[in-house]
Amino acid sequence: MTAIAWQRRRAAARATWREFASQRGGLVGLIGLAVITVLAVLAPLVTDASGLDVTRVTARPWEPPSASHWLGTDHNGRSVLLLTWWGTRISLVVGLAATVLSVLIGTVVGIAAAHFGGWVSAVLMRFTDFFLVLPSLVLAIALSTVLPRGLGTIVLAIGVTSWPATARLVRAQTLAVEARPFIERARALGGGHGHVIGRHVLPAVLPLVFVNTTLTVASAIVAESTLSFLGLGDPTRVSWGSLLHAANMHGAVSQRAWWFLVPPGLGVVCVVLAFTLCGRALETVLNPRLKGER
């Protein structure tokens, strides 16, 4: 009889998609994301990774855009187009991984705090407040200085510092859902914590978590760029933040090498904008209260 449930879920997914597709902003964001993701995945197949190796460059440093190097070259003579293209991969991976980590912590803490109440809630919420009041960038900088440098550290630093807002949001939504009488009915039927959370609370909270995820990705990508720009990223990998860091370090401004500064910056803007557009559209679809205001 799960066939009924699946049929209904498919129908619900179709309806959600139709509503999403009716919003031009969300659609533009989604198409943008799809293009960027495909480019990032295809980078090793379409381009030659040896172009990233400083010892193998042939072009001169600080070359302005030309037919052979569309976006010019950096201080080592590497193609900025190639660097930016490869930078997409790291930015997306870090952004998504950090978001998954942050949303996971936030959801678990939020649901647990609201569901169990009492001292569990008090402890968890004070813990959340502690992270909420710490300046997250400073905390992330501190973490990535202490821990060994690498991709994992950046993900951890961003993930561990950006979850409190999600936790608060999820807690509020869980409290609202748990006040509904069908939760009491489930308890009266004999359902335990696992049943109430798994069958009733989680499905009701997930849409919100989903929206929150897409919006968190955007800020995680910005955070990654910030940390890398400050020189705290993985030095062996190219990311947009580390490109900007390199440009700053080697005097791209004094060289008037705008072609080195603008592409990674625009990359960040495009991805963040695309995620935000998607998130807002999704929010409108899943949160009926916002619909009237359009």
Partner 1 sequence: MSSLLELRDLSVHYRTARGEVTAVRSVSLGLAAGQTLGLAGESGCGKSTVAMSVLRLLPRTARVEGQVLLDGEDVRGMSWGRLRAVRWAAASVVFQGAMHALNPVHRVGEQIAEPMRLHGVTGSVSALLDQVELPARAARAYPHELSGGQKQRVMIAMALACEPRLVVADEPTTALDVVVQAQVLDVLKRLVSERGIGLVMISHDLSVLASTCDRLAVMRHGQVVEEGPAREVITSPTHPHTQALAAAFPTVGDPASRQVTPSEGAGGPVLLRASDLHVSFGATKAVAGVDLEVRAGEIVALVGQSGSGKTTLARTLLGLRKPTSGRVLFEGRELPRSASGLRAYRRQVQLVLQDPTSALNPRHSVYEAVAEGLRIHRVDGDESARVAEALSQAELRPPELFFPSLPHELSGGQRQRVVIAGALALGPRLLVADEPVASLDASVRGEILALLLRLRRELGLAALVITHDLGLAWTIADRVAVMYRGELVEQGTVEQVLLSPRHDYTRTLLAAVPHAQRSTRPNWTSSP
Query: Which residues contact partner 1 by CB under 8 A?
Result: 1, 4-5, 7-8, 180-182, 184-192, 195, 199-200, 203-204
Beta-bridge partner residues of 79: 73
Helix (H, G, I), strand (E, B) or coil at 50: helix
User: Least distance in Å: CB of 258 to partner 1?
Assistant: 52
User: Least distance in Å: CB of 178 to partner 1?
Assistant: 12
DSSP codes joined into one string, 168-233: HHHHHHHHHHHTSHHHHHHHHTT--HHHIIIIIIHHHHHHHHHHHHHHHHHHHHHHHHHHHHTT-S
User: Least distance in Å: CB of 168 to partner 1?
Assistant: 24
Nearer of residues 192 and 251 to partner 1, judged by Cβ: 192
Nearer of residues 27 and 204 to partner 1, judged by Cβ: 204
Identity of residue 165: A
Nearer of residues 142 and 204 to partner 1, judged by Cβ: 204
Nearer of residues 7 and 255 to partner 1, judged by Cβ: 7
Report the C-alpha gap between 264 and 258 in whole angstroms.
11
Whether 107 contacts 163, CB under 8 Å: no
Nearer of residues 116 and 182 to partner 1, judged by Cβ: 182
DSSP codes joined into one string, 138-172: HHHHHHHHHSPSSHHHHHHHHHHHS-HHHHHHHHH
